[in-house]
Amino acid sequence: MSNETATKKPFKLRLIE
């Protein structure tokens, strides 16, 4: 779950920006 969270964190940030 740690890997998915780290990948989802930047992914969502990029989508918002």
State the DSSP code for 3.
H
Q: What is the pLDDT of residues 1-17, one digit of tens each?
A: 566 666 677 777 776 66
| pLDDT number for residue 10 | 73
- State the virtual CA torsion across 11, 12, 14, 17 in degrees, nearest 10: 180
